[in-house]
Amino acid sequence: MKIAFVGLGQMGRPMAQNLTRVEGDYIVCDRNPEALSEFNKPGVVATTSLDDVAIADIVFLSLPNGDIVKRVLLSASGLLEKLAPGTLVVDTSTISYATTIEIAEALSTKGIHFVDAPVSGMYARAVDGTLTVMCGGSEAVFEHIEPLLRRFGDKILLMGVVGSGQLTKLVNQLLFDINAAALAEVLPMAVKLGLEPGLVTEVVNSGTGRSYASEFFLPRVLKSNFNEGYPMAEAYKDLVSGAEISARYGLPMPVLAAATTTYQQALLKGLGALDKGAMIQVFEQLFDVRFRSALDAA
């Protein structure tokens, strides 16, 4: 069985490394030649060309957004016209539900199987091989690829039919996004009224107000460290997906809409290259305060 992995970015590179740690027949592909340097080992062909991927039996994708996934799969030079019937495509990217359904339908016309399998856990867990993988597809195909998924994930779940993985990932991401936006709004208020940021962080992260967002971001915010999480400009696609679902299905989500406004303000202030913890700067500027440790308060 020949296995290909396309997309060696921040998440894809460690996932591909864990996938290829077991002896086998692999192809790794990225348009950036520098990304291929770590895959110089027996049994692995490293390439910048999708043409070389066409001979694979299973193709994993880890790409930045839905537009790129569509280009890699459905464009005139994409894999749809190169892969043989019966090939399985497993997309671990985070893209919209609607785009996932569109891709699955297009691939099925050529007899190509598809599973959406977005991952959760951020870079450190990708390195450790402990990601959560949420899958959408047939049970038979899922059982076929589950042993491969377990090379980079320790919680592998079949959520339902194609598209269910992306829907599940979106639910998780939106809750994370809302938590991050809430921290950005409430904590500068605490400083404005005289509370000390370090002590507030200690209480929040040991009390009922804690969340993964607070535990990850607040120690970093105290040190003005906004570069260890996923960039906001790229994460914003999840909020767009949430808004699309809200509009398409007539589902009011007012808390999500409010959180989206905070993200939009942060992006308009030029903070898109920073992680979600940087949203706090929106309200710091508005309230004329800084949520920092004493050593970094100046």
Which pLDDT value is given to residue 122? 82
Give the active site residues. 169
Of the pLDDT bands very low, low, confident and very high (cuts 50, 70, 90), residue 296 is low
Which pLDDT value is given to residue 297? 54
Least confident of 119-133, 242-256, 284-298: 284-298
pLDDT tens per residue, range 268-283: 999 999 999 999 999 9
Pull the structure tokens for residue 40: 């110089």
Of the pLDDT bands very low, low, confident and very high (cuts 50, 70, 90), residue 78 is very high
Of the pLDDT bands very low, low, confident and very high (cuts 50, 70, 90), residue 264 is very high
Q: What is the pTM of this model?
A: 0.87
CA 281-283-288 angle, to 5 degrees, is: 90
In the predicted structure, residue 252 carries a pLDDT above the cut 70: yes
3-state secondary structure of 174: helix
Which pLDDT value is given to residue 62? 97
CA distance 158 to 162: 10
Of the pLDDT bands very low, low, confident and very high (cuts 50, 70, 90), residue 295 is low
58 Cβ neighbours under 8 A, 6+ residues apart: 1, 2, 3, 4, 87, 88, 89, 90, 145, 148
Mean pLDDT of all residues in 5-33? 96
pLDDT tens per residue, range 129-154: 999 999 999 999 999 999 999 999 99
3-state secondary structure of 89: strand
In the predicted structure, residue 298 carries a pLDDT above the cut 60: no
Please report the sign of the dihedral spanned by the C-alpha atoms of residue 292, residue 293, residue 296, residue 298: positive
